[in-house]
């Protein structure tokens, strides 16, 4: 979850799913700053869901914020990182799901997923809406 308050301060939170049949002692992406979650109040924030090992390998949330720092929109930054994961995984990309949501300092948001089926909610002064994330494969 990513939030921006009335003063423009950003915050975020993520949790681990507790992946079924995980290896004992496995640490997912959630507790690793820059992987499952990263916030820079000067730029924006990003949060991940899906197979944490793939998010860790790209330090995905940090990379999205850095791409926004370079001028990419939240949507474009999320897409670039998901496509990087798809290129790395090649044919094995069909076996996993990874999704990112991002919010920049201007209140613009975006998301991108490896596969169909990921939705996210947005709450603004105008109301609530559920958005289906664009996807790569």
List beta partners, residue 39: 45
Output the six-digit token pair for 109.
Answer: 């948001």
pLDDT less than 70: residues of the chain: 17-28, 137
Output the six-digit token pair for 62.
Answer: 């940090």
CB 101 within 8 A of CB 111: yes
Given the DSSP bridges, would you call strands 10-12 and 37-40 parallel, antiparallel or unpaired? Answer: unpaired
Distance of alpha carbon 126 from alpha carbon 39, whole angstroms:
25
The pLDDT value recorded for residue 137 is 66
The pLDDT value recorded for residue 22 is 64
């Amino acid at each position: 979850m990513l939030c921006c308050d009335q003063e423009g301060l950003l915050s975020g939170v993520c949790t681990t799913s507790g992946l079924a049949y995980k290896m004992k002692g496995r640490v997912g992406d959630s507790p690793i700053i820059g992987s499952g979650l990263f916030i820079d109040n000067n730029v924006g924030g990003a949060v991940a869901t899906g197979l944490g090992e793939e998010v860790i390998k790209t330090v995905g949330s940090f990379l999205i914020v850095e791409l926004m720092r370079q001028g990419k929109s939240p949507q474009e930054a999320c897409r670039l990182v998901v496509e990087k994961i798809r290129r790395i995984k090649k044919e094995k990309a069909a076996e996993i799901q990874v999704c990112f949501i991002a919010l920049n300092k201007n209140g613009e948001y975006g998301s991108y997923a490896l596969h169909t089926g990921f939705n996210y909610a947005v709450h603004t002064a105008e109301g609530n809406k559920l958005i289906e994330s664009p996807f790569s494969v």
